[in-house]
Amino acid sequence: MSGYFFTFEGIDKSGKTTQAELLADRLHKAGREVVFTHEPGGTPLGQAIRALVVEGKTQGEICDEAEVLLFTADRCQHVWEVIRPALEAGKVVISDRYFDSTLAYQGYGRRLDLGWLVSLQEKATGGLHPDRTFLVDVDLETSKARGGLQGSDRLETGPEALYKRIRNGYFALAEKEPDRFICLDGRESMEALSKRIFEVVGPMI
Ligand code: TMP
């Protein structure tokens, strides 16, 4: 495929969405064709799934395994409908969250079997891995101070221990793939972070 695929990851209020948007904007201004997208909810089917798993629009509770299958169904459709066609057309795709979210939140966070999750992701994405993944990290205190970890949705209301496991899970994923992951300190200024990200992306494309 001739395009480039960049993903942004991190816990709530890390600033990843802002950085993903800034990168998209910068590349667009530089004349690149950019597709800026997100998970869950990057397709019409995904929006319906997001209403179920994030906004809690279900009757009763969703079990952890059903939840991970819904996130993965969202991703499968997203790759098929949006990401792969854009990459095949030579575009730059920037996604706010991708399969590392499932590994961090459902694998490390909710302690679902990582081997099962990895093979599920490979199947659902047809083995499509990002060229680079920007992990925008903030500690739990910073996230909370920015209004995170206390939302009313199903996933963002949870015990601190869960968020510690998710954050540490991201670190573990980054350690396993140091060439793909770029770890950033989300407490740095918006401008400094954006500059660092462009220093990585600029020479690649
Ligand atoms: P967002 O706030 O970045 O839009 O993400 C929505 C929530 O969904 C967030 O709490 C993280 C969670 N999530 C998972 O738990 N697993 C996943 O695979 C994805 C994509 C998101």
CA angle 123, 126, 129 (to 5 degrees): 110
pLDDT tens digit sequence for 166-204: 999 999 999 999 999 999 999 999 999 999 999 999 999
Q: How far away, in angstroms, is 62 Cα from ligand 1 center?
A: 15
Q: The whole model's pTM is what?
A: 0.95
- Side-chain half-sphere exposure of 147, counting CA atoms within 13 A: 2
- Residues 100, 166 contacting (CB under 8 angstroms): no
CATH code of the domain in which 157 resides: 3.40.50.300
Atom of ligand 1 nearest to the CA of 105: 15
State the total domains in the chain. 1
Atom of ligand 1 nearest to the CA of 153: 10
Domain housing 87: 4-204
pLDDT tens digit sequence for 108-151: 999 999 999 999 999 999 999 999 999 999 999 899 888 887 64
How far is CA 94 from each of CA 28, 62, 193, rounded to the nearest angstrom?
11, 29, 16
Q: 70 pLDDT exceeds 60?
A: yes
